[in-house]
Amino acid sequence: MQNQEKFEALVKNMLELIGENPNREGLIKTPQRVAKAYAFMTKGYAQNPVEILNEALFESDNDQMVLIKDIEFYSMCEHHLLPIIGRAHVAYIPDGKVVGLSKIPRMVDVFARRLQIQEQLTEQIADAIHSVIKPKGVGVVVQARHMCIEMRGVEKTHSATTTSALRGMFLRSDTRKEFFDIINSPSVNRF
């Protein structure tokens, strides 16, 4: 992390402002640990999702839906810097090209490892796939729990938020229905 010393000083100052003693045994190394954690949790700023997708773009005759379901992710709310814990379901219909399957979860993580709002995260995932792979259509659904809702404010611990972004053929009712039917179906045989 650039400016790690400055970041650590800010954490130490924050600890003092909330009434803690940053020099007590349990907190002495907290500024370093927090700096390291934030460097990891925001590493998406240093990554390029377009490069990740372009690393494994292949020609293909497939013209049927490709779906990766239940991509777990962790992010942080840009309003409160509290965790967002969720799953993304990402599908596209190829138009001459497919992308290596591992690249989609990696691309999700690039956007998730930035300060986010869920609506923006969902759109960014769809836009990246649409612009790089150039498929006939893209469908993205993100379901998440927000600690800014659960830990503070309204304190609703069993609420979840769902957002979607649809492009191209996924705007047609038949494709949309197929996509939502698949992501909402129970996973009977987990591998």
CATH 3.40.50.300 fits 56-184, yes or no: no
Number of Cβ atoms within 10 Å of the Cβ of 10: 14
Per-residue pLDDT tens over the stretch 34-80 = 999 999 999 999 999 999 999 999 999 999 999 999 999 999 999 99
Q: What is the DSSP string of 110-130?
A: HHHTSEE-HHHHHHHHHHHHH
> What is the C-alpha to C-alpha distance for residues 28 and 190, in angstroms, rounded to an integer?
44
Q: Give the residue range(s) of CATH 3.30.1130.10 domains in the chain.
A: 56-184
Q: Give the active site residues.
A: 77-80, 118, 146, 148
Please state the φ and ψ torsions of residue 73, each to the nearest 5 degrees: -150, 160
List the CATH code of the domain at 4-41. Answer: 1.10.286.10
What the block records as the tokens of 181 is 């039917």
| Residue 33 CB contacts under 8 Å (≥ 6 apart), including other chains | none
Is the pLDDT reported for residue 188 higher than 70?
no
Per-residue pLDDT tens over the stretch 97-118 = 999 999 999 999 999 999 999 9
Predicted TM-score (pTM) of this structure? 0.92
